[in-house]
């Protein structure tokens, strides 16, 4: 870990949503413009179900922790409305399974996060945000897409 300097224009943290698809041995990443909040979670979910529906996936199981942007009323309402639409019109529905609090080892994506972080960092220097995003996408063999931005409710 390299501490950011006071005059460093880069954000102190980089937020990213990840989707591990075990049957395809594939990771999908979406970086976030700002902090991961409910509106950005909705944007990530909309992008995810669109992509999965295009690949013929009818139900996607999400294994989530209890992060506030996962369990918010806004996100739960969006998932419920989306699933009703997908059931009527077709598409990919979301089945959410929540992990017990403080149990990240139960989430199958956690070891992949840890491995990816170790694989891309350099002990000698701090990477820029752009460099870190590119390296992570290269490591997970996924496209570097524009960051997700907050959507209106």
Q: Is the dihedral of CA 138, 150, 24, 110 positive or negative?
A: positive
Q: Which residue has the higher pLDDT, 116 or 23?
A: 116
Percentage of residues in the chain having pLDDT higher than 70: 90
Burial of 136 (0-12, 13-18, 19+ CB in 10 A): buried
| Model confidence pLDDT, tens digit, residues 56-106 | 999 999 988 888 888 899 999 999 999 999 999 999 999 999 888 778 778
7-11, 51-55, 90-94: segment of lowest average pLDDT? 7-11
Say if residue 5's pLDDT is above 70: no
The band of 151, judged by pLDDT with boundaries at 50, 70 and 90, is low
Say if residue 4's pLDDT is above 80: no
**For the structural domain made of 16-140, what CATH number should be given?**
3.30.420.10
> Which spans in 4-153 are helix H?
38-54, 68-71, 73-89, 110-120, 129-140
Domain edges within the chain: 16-140
Q: Rounded CA gap, 104 and 96, in Å?
A: 16
pLDDT at 94: 97
The band of 7, judged by pLDDT with boundaries at 50, 70 and 90, is low
Say if residue 9's pLDDT is above 70: no
């Amino acid at each position: 870990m390299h501490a950011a300097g006071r005059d460093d224009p880069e954000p102190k943290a980089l937020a990213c949503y990840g989707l591990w698809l075990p049957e395809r041995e594939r990771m999908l990443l979406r970086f976030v413009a700002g902090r991961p909040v409910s509106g950005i979670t909705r944007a990530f979910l909309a992008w995810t179900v669109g992509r999965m529906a295009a690949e013929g996936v009818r139900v996607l199981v999400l294994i989530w922790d209890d992060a506030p942007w996962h369990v918010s009323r806004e996100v739960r309402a969006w998932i419920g409305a989306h699933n009703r639409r997908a059931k009527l019109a077709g598409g990919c529905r979301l089945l959410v399974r929540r992990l017990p609090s403080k149990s990240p080892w139960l989430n199958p994506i956690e070891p992949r996060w840890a491995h990816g972080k170790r694989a891309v960092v350099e002990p000698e220097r701090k990477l820029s945000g752009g460099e870190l995003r590119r390296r992570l996408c290269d490591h997970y063999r996924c496209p570097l897409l524009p960051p997700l931005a907050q959507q209106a409710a």
